[in-house]
Structure 1
Amino acid sequence: MSQKPKIALIGNPNAGKSSLFNSLTGLRQKTGNFPGVTMDKLTGTWEIEPGQEVNILDLPGIYSIYPKSLDEELVINILGNPTNEDYPDMAIVVADASNLKRNLLLFSQVRDLGIPTVLALNMIDVAETEGYVINSIKLARELNVEVAEINAKKGIGINGLRLAVGKTLANRYASNDALPLPVDEQMLAGIQLKFGEADPYRSLLWLMEHDRMKMFSPDQRKAFDAIQDEFQFKSEEYKTSETVKRYEALSEVVERCVINLNRQWDAPPVKTWTDRLDSVFLHSIGGYLFFFLLLFVMFQAVFTWAAYPMDAIDAGVAYLNDWLKTVLPASALTGLLTDGLVAGIGGVLIFIPQIAFLFFFIAMLEETGYMSRVMFIMDKLMRRFGLNGKSVVPLISGVACAVPAIMSTRSIGSWKDRLITIMVTPLMSCSARLPIYTVLISLVVPEKSTLFGLFNLQGLALFGMYLLGFLMAIVSAWVMKQILQVKERSYFIMELPTYKAPRFKHMAISILNSVKAFVFEAGKIIVAISIVLWVLASYGPGDSMSQVDAQVRQANPTLSAAELSNRIASEKLENSYAGHFGHFIEPVIKPLGYDWKIGIALITSFAAREVFVGTMSTIYSLGGEVDDENATIKNRMRAEINPETGKPLYDVALGFSLLIFYAFAMQCMSTLATTYRETKSWKYPAIQFFYMTALAYLTAFITYQVLA
């Protein structure tokens, strides 16, 4: 077991802990300019002296050690339990220097728990811009701790922090044993007698938060309840009084250590760029208009800007496939390589440009600080539907992936709001749906510009699909709000950070990591299922496959060689194992306009929806009805004919039916597993799966019947 000292990074949300973590450890951990990025503990190593390393633990942001949400519970279960494997040898409390008094509340609580502590003053430049000058040397004497001034984003002040940490680790400064408010000494002695010696403040924390601390058994929790009853100790009253007392003491410290230049010069408060921008972005009408305009531009860009690299990748994969078939001998292995493996990889690579653009815009919102404004302006609207402003982050994050989005709901204090957010977040159109939307929209929506050539119709359709997902999410939330009827009031309290220029290097790393996650996580599923599907589509029960060749040749003696080859390939696909599966479910999906080939894609994509495109690519590579061997997936699907009408199969009715089905269907095992993890019950993933699947089927049925 490692003997390296453990150092915990602790601080308010958006104080800069994750940026400092990256600067110290060099790890490419995601950071963002909005509260609540870190939702789980993260670890790395930092070399504080040559040959001497320490373990760094980045904990979720909290405002105090009295938790209101699950991520805050995680922190007190570590800081309040010396036997926890992650209990730190010391703490670095990262404080936003422009909001010093509020940040010092958490610092004073951590110090009083008996943990050796260093105070890292971050964003000194922002404080000075707002007219505040901090005397950090005097502040260190007042608080009796080492204080370091840093700029976490730029890595400035790390050497000073290194010295402060080294001194604190060597000296193990004692904590302040005085309690903020007096309590009955017999009660305190009773806690320590029953539960072990601890700093007085930690003993009080156990008493007040024992129901949230996993270290205690049910019997021990009952013992704490008995102590509270015996001494008539009111936890909530003590917390409130203690917070007020701490702020009174900290106000005096700040008064002595911070110079307010605005007040000194009798100058009016500085009108910052943040104030000017907020007058627009937080406007009761203009704020909403700007946000929806931003989303509109974002999805236009995702569809139009990415078209050129996507076309290049598409053509490159088709050329590679054709070249391999030319240079390799005709065999089952060549078919597996070209129609299975290469087709599957092509189905992954082609969508990298769109996913990169999507993550670019999301990273920009986080980096600049605008994401917090979205949460603020949307809170009033969200509450009408059973959500709150903090639900916006999971919903917007769900545009990238539902898994981390659902995990980010831990910052929502209300169980009802959190549960509803978890249940509706998968309705947001994630990056896995983007490949499906791209293919289907290109089939049924004309590629032309409108409104003086500014907007592309296909881009408008893509924006409409994302807007549809959001609207269905809030409607579903409203329905769940009526069903749950929980009498629990929730509050929306958050800090609006200052606007900051985006760090394009960090954005590039974030985009790269997101694309890699798609390629290697979703990609390996797509490729694996493509190979399995090739096997199922190339072989069939009995000798049915071997007889197809002779039967087709005998029934169609006048067909050309190319037409005959295509007809044989189609008949073999229909008689394969995959074809039998598709025919088996065809009666169920026929009312939606789907045939047995689409049925195969539906079956495979219930594991992960992005498999749809890879499946269709494999199916139409094997059963192709087009003469051009280089034809890509869109061309092959466009050439598919409906045998009943003799017209193209993928018409407007079928295309929009499929779009609607994939917009609402729950087709992601990882999301269901995450819902189970976050709710600790299989009931909610089951409800999530069945209500979303039923919603998808019903709306797709209505869409097809109306448009057909």
Structure 2
Amino acid sequence: MAVASDKTTWTIALVGNPNTGKSTLFGALSGVAQKVGNYPGVTVEKKVGEVVHDGRRWLLVDLPGTYSLAPRSPDEMVTVDVLLGRQSDVAPPDVVVCVASAGNLSRNLYLVGQALELGRPVVVALTMNDLAEAEGTKVDAEGLSRSLGVPVVPIQARRGEGLEALKDAVESAGAAPPPTVPQVFPEPFRNEVDRLADVLNGRQLPRYLIERLLLDVGAHIEDRIGLAEPDRLQLRARIDEARKRLAEVGCKTPDVETTARYAWIARATEGVVTHAGETGSRFADRLDSVLTHKLWGSLILAAVMLLTFSAVFSWATVPMDWIDAGFEALGGLVEGALPEGPVRDLLVGGIIGGVGAVVIFLPQILILIGLLTILEECGYLARAAYLMDRIMVRVGLSGRSFIPLLSSFACAIPGVMATRVIENRRDRLTTILIAPLMSCSARLPVYTLMIGAFIPARAYLGGWLQLQGLTLLAMYLVGVVVAALAALILKRTFLRSATPVFLMEMPAYQWPSPIVVVRRMLDRGWDFLYNAGTIIFAVSVVMWGLLYYPRLSHEDLAPMVADRERAEARLEAAKAANDDAAAADAEDAVAAAENHIAGAQQRQSLLGRAGRLIEPLVKPLGWDWRIGSAALASFPAREVVVSTLGVIFDVGEDVEDEGEGRLSQALQSATWPDSGKPLFTIPVALSVMVFFALCAQCVSTLAVIWRETGSWTWPALSFAYMTALAYVGAFLTYQIGTWLGA
């Protein structure tokens, strides 16, 4: 391979096991100069950053985390293709940076050994040295470098330590000849690879892939090289013959790889790794014995989740009040500056009211994402996955499915994409179909609006637990429980398969990095604001138009205007006579007349007509046409329901009482037009929340399901069964709640 020193731009590939700090290193090196997309032809995420070092530009490619370069999934195949220079949109790597954890060096070197066999310059970034030393393990980086024949650089990416040394090592490695490829496999195996290479010389396959053909018992590589069926049958016969010859000399495949690589690792680490003491390790083991205990671990998990959701309400109150007051002041300025008419109504009620009704929930989303990131960074969520494996097994899945489901609590889209790590297609499809049932951050505005407006703010245990937090936790549990039942049914019917075995590495306990936590919060917060500024803004304007037009004719409006004028005249007369009681009655009459006019205009509108058309269908849920219209409008994205309610209930007007949000107060004041009874009650609020906890109101998620499965059958099934579940769940919630007299 040619030396890359004469190139002005290098491609640097980052590869490593999960939980080794690879993504943290990528963020520390590239900062904000990152681009995220997909590799062509697959939905595997591609993350590319830029680094400038000594006047040279680097394109830093963060490859999916993997334990080996034996491709059995789309993620692993993309990693191998990039490292071999077979990915069309990524230049062949000039240097490969292998990220290895000092605490699990032997297992991490398995991947390093495979990377060395690719024949490209390699640099090993040794992470988590402090955690390894706390557990009594010390790695001699210089000795390991001599043993491997490549640079080994200890780093602490969270603190920025060792990054300049790593950059210098990458620069030196790219300018030097590639390292010598280690001879890991025994001679009989290498001879069979040579024979197979002679047969396939017309295919121009890298030697590494030819080795994998012999080792790959699942025929994944055969599927990728694109042979015609007769040629494939002939190749399959030659591979079978080669494996038989190897078995006769004691080199049974694929066991020969594990044996050979760990023997090479043992030689490479001899005299390099020392184990002085085990104080830290014993402490971690004691902590694990509690956090992963069947009873105590489950109780701790429940308590952690409950405190997390309680904090979402208690910590966000003040910043939410600031945001609400800001939008109210902005609406007041616009309202005072413009004459009455459709333009003012659009700006105040449609745009400011609709977008503001959603943006107010930004503090709660930031708090939730921040707390979940802290739990993930300190290593606790991996323990939660272990605990959940016991439950997942009962529904036919494993803890491997828990990771995508956990990602879905932030957003179902990366959760669905994360199912690529699941090798069994039926398990992967099952996980994809239940992932949207996890309550993503888009549902949080719906929950917090209804809980804040209708669930009493009662506190227990000296203020540590709140009824509102309990209700929020219950909404999340609704999705979890229903997802478990759905998985059980799917795995026992048309997606039947054996329950997979779950193997997972427990990451070391460590203090969360404030930089990582803040960056994750800012990323999710920006995504939320971007949606509020684009999708929600557009939908708010469209919903305002559908709710505003067509207007009532002057003939239809005249009797109602006359009633309002008579009430206003009564009010003026009462004020002139200083009759406070009569003035109060007259004010109520004026408000009733104005509400009557507004309600008639809304019912006349296109959205009102659509809502009234489906009102018989949603009335058993405790909803009227306004709630039904908001549900219809929320199909592009669930959080749009809040902005649509803001438009429908006209939060641009001054309806605020001190200490309460404008939309919350408007919902509390809403009544049924025919009876005057409150529209929203606790059963109705719970019904709305349960509906949105279970519904499939997210067209982006359905599109990603289609891309991941390659068929519209699965997103159609997801939409159909989730909508049916949402309706039944909302119906039972309202009817039972009303029967209990909630």
Same-fold status (TM-score > 0.5): yes
AA partner of residue 42 (structure 1) = K
Cα deviations by residue, 1:51-95 (Å, 9 ceiling, x for unpaired): 112211111111111134332222123234546442322211111
Out of 698, 703, 707, the position equivalent to 2:728 is 698
Query: What SS does the corresponding residue of 2:274 show, helix, strand or coil?
Result: strand
Q: Shift of residue 665 of structure 1?
A: 0.8
Q: Distance in 2 between matches of 1:174 and 1:215?
A: 31
Alignment pair present for 1:69 and 2:99:
no
Q: After the TM superposition, which of the residue ranges 546-555 and 624-633 deviates more from structure 2?
A: 624-633
Query: Which residue of 2 is the match for residue 583 of structure 1?
Result: 612
Change (3 A) 1:463 1:53: same
AA partner of residue 61 (structure 1) = G
Out of 253, 262, 284, the position equivalent to 2:268 is 253
Contact 2:564 2:594 in 1 (8 A): no
Alignment pair present for 1:146 and 2:151:
yes
Q: Shift of residue 212 of structure 1?
A: 3.5
Q: Distance in 2 between matches of 1:627 and 1:194?
A: 76
Query: What SS does the corresponding residue of 2:120 show, helix, strand or coil?
Result: coil
Contact 1:339 1:621 in 2 (8 A): yes
Query: Which residue of 2 is the match for residue 59 of structure 1?
Result: 63
Q: Shift of residue 342 of structure 1?
A: 0.6
Query: What SS does the corresponding residue of 2:270 show, helix, strand or coil?
Result: helix
Q: Distance in 2 between matches of 1:101 and 1:695?
A: 48
Q: Distance in 1 between matches of 2:280 and 2:304?
A: 29
Q: Unaligned stretches of 5+ in structure 1?
A: 32-37, 263-267
Alignment pair present for 1:202 and 2:232:
no
> What TM-score does the superposition give when structure 2 sets the normalisation length?
0.87
Query: Which residue of 1 is the match for residue 20 of structure 2?
Result: 15
Cα deviations by residue, 1:226-277 (Å, 9 ceiling, x for unpaired): 2231252449942321111110121122123223334xxxxx6654542332
Alignment pair present for 1:593 and 2:622:
yes
Query: Which residue of 1 is the match for residue 231 of structure 2?
Result: 223
Contact 1:569 1:622 in 2 (8 A): no
Query: Which residue of 2 is the match for residue 34 of structure 1?
Result: none
Query: What SS does the corresponding residue of 2:70 show, helix, strand or coil?
Result: coil
Q: Shift of residue 106 of structure 1?
A: 0.9
Q: Shift of residue 635 of structure 1?
A: 1.3
Query: What SS does the corresponding residue of 1:219 show, helix, strand or coil?
Result: coil
Out of 130, 133, 136, the position equivalent to 1:131 is 136
Query: Which residue of 1 is the match for residue 648 of structure 2?
Result: 619
Q: After the TM superposition, which of the residue ranges 656-665 and 350-359 deviates more from structure 2?
A: 656-665
Query: What SS does the corresponding residue of 1:696 show, helix, strand or coil?
Result: helix
Query: What SS does the corresponding residue of 2:254 show, helix, strand or coil?
Result: helix
Contact 1:76 1:213 in 2 (8 A): no
Query: What SS does the corresponding residue of 2:152 show, helix, strand or coil?
Result: strand
Q: How does 1:19-34 map to 2 (within 5 A)?
A: 19-27=24-32
Query: Which residue of 2 is the match for residue 303 of structure 1?
Result: 313
Query: Which residue of 1 is the match for residue 577 of structure 2?
Result: none
Q: After the TM superposition, which of the residue ranges 478-487 and 203-212 deviates more from structure 2?
A: 203-212
Q: Shift of residue 362 of structure 1?
A: 0.8
Change (3 A) 1:391 1:92: same
Q: After the TM superposition, which of the residue ranges 363-372 and 175-184 deviates more from structure 2?
A: 175-184
AA partner of residue 340 (structure 1) = G
Contact 1:625 1:639 in 2 (8 A): no
Q: Distance in 2 between matches of 1:192 and 1:229?
A: 13
Query: Which residue of 1 is the match for residue 682 of structure 2?
Result: 652
Contact 2:197 2:210 in 1 (8 A): no
Q: How does 1:604-683 map to 2 (within 5 A)?
A: 604-621=633-650, 632-683=662-713
Q: Shift of residue 693 of structure 1?
A: 0.2
Contact 1:365 1:371 in 2 (8 A): yes
Q: Shift of residue 197 of structure 1?
A: 6.1
Contact 1:303 1:462 in 2 (8 A): no
Query: What SS does the corresponding residue of 1:253 show, helix, strand or coil?
Result: helix
Q: Distance in 2 between matches of 1:573 and 1:18?
A: 51
Query: What SS does the corresponding residue of 1:5 show, helix, strand or coil?
Result: strand
Query: Which residue of 2 is the match for residue 416 of structure 1?
Result: 426
Query: What SS does the corresponding residue of 1:483 show, helix, strand or coil?
Result: coil
Change (3 A) 1:30 1:460: farther
Q: Distance in 2 between matches of 1:16 and 1:291?
A: 25
Query: What SS does the corresponding residue of 1:288 show, helix, strand or coil?
Result: helix
Q: CA RMSD in A?
A: 2.9
How many residue pairs get aligned? The number is 692
Q: Shift of residue 619 of structure 1?
A: 0.9
Contact 2:377 2:512 in 1 (8 A): yes
Q: Shift of residue 625 of structure 1?
A: 11
Cα deviations by residue, 1:109-137 (Å, 9 ceiling, x for unpaired): 11112222122222222233333333333
Out of 355, 358, 372, the position equivalent to 1:345 is 355
Query: Which residue of 1 is the match for residue 439 of structure 2?
Result: 429
Q: How does 1:124-523 map to 2 (within 5 A)?
A: 124-176=129-181, 178=183, 180-181=185-186, 182-183=188-189, 184=192, 187-196=195-204, 198=206, 200-206=207-213, 208=215, 211-212=219-220, 216=224, 218-220=226-228, 223-231=231-239, 232-234=241-243, 237-262=252-277, 271-523=281-533
Contact 1:280 1:286 in 2 (8 A): yes
Q: Shift of residue 39 of structure 1?
A: 6.7
AA partner of residue 146 (structure 2) = R
Q: Distance in 2 between matches of 1:627 and 1:127?
A: 57
Q: Shift of residue 453 of structure 1?
A: 4.5
Contact 2:349 2:652 in 1 (8 A): no
Q: Unaligned stretches of 5+ in structure 2?
A: 1-6, 37-42, 245-250, 569-589
Q: Shift of residue 213 of structure 1?
A: 5.1
